[in-house]
Amino acid sequence: MTLLSATILLFLVMDPLGNILLFVTALQSVPVKRRKRVVARELLIAYAVLVLFLFTGEHLLHALNITGPALTIAGGLVLFLIALRMIFPSHDHSLEEHVKGEPFLVPLAIPYVAGPSALATLLLLMSRDPQRWPVWLLALTCAWLASAAILILGGQLSRFLGPRGLLALERLMGLLLVTLAVQMFIEGLRSAMHP
């Protein structure tokens, strides 16, 4: 996987466009002047969690005795399910959480930005090619910076695109993620069948 493809994959699983409405909803009780500061703080916390997981996740895999092909197949399945939720959103199973007061750590940093799909993707990247950790760290940083820019400008983007525009973009991202998830699943099966 190249730096560009890893960055795109991480950007898609962080789903900043889909998170705009979740961020706007969670920040309703926060004074307007503090919102960008709160979003920046939560994004930095999420980045720290993602970087920590990038370097410690592989040790967790070894402790649990999980093989590379199993992780690739599981990662493909998880990404596929997340992509389906992006394409066919359900209000019954929404990730939206109602927050009273100023959010801290949950739900903005975790799980909206540093969610299970982003953590699983980092695990997958490091388990497949651990010696390329500088590339994965750079890919994570680039994807996080792009996501951060979108989420900091979330209020303006939400007003500009409207709910339908955001929904259309999220579904497009979901379609791309489905393709990546199927590819991961196929690669995992191939690795398991031909070790």
- For the stretch 38-72, pLDDT in tens is 999 999 999 999 999 999 988 888 888 888 788 77
pLDDT at 141: 98
pLDDT at 62: 82
CB 124, CB 75: distance < 8 Å: yes
* Lookup: tokens for 4: 């560009």
Q: Three-state SS across the chain?
A: CCHHHHHHHHHHHHCHHHHHHHHHHHCCCCCHHHHHHHHHHHHHHHHHHHHHHHHHHHHHHHHHCCCHHHHHHHHHHHHHHHHHHHHCCCCCCCCCCCCCCCCECECHHHHHHCCHHHHHHHHHHHHHCHHHHHHHHHHHHHHHHHHHHHHHCHHHHHHHHHHHHHHHHHHHHHHHHHHHHHHHHHHHHHHHHCC
Q: What is the pTM for the complete model shown?
A: 0.80
Domain boundaries, the chain: 3-190
- For the stretch 67-95, pLDDT in tens is 878 877 887 887 788 788 878 877 654 55
Residue % of the chain over a pLDDT of 90? 29
* Residue 41 to residue 34: CA distance in whole angstroms: 11
pLDDT band at 2 (very low <50, low <70, confident <90, very high): very high
Least confidently predicted of 29-33, 74-78, 141-145: 74-78
- For the stretch 85-124, pLDDT in tens is 878 877 654 555 566 778 888 888 998 899 877 888 898 8
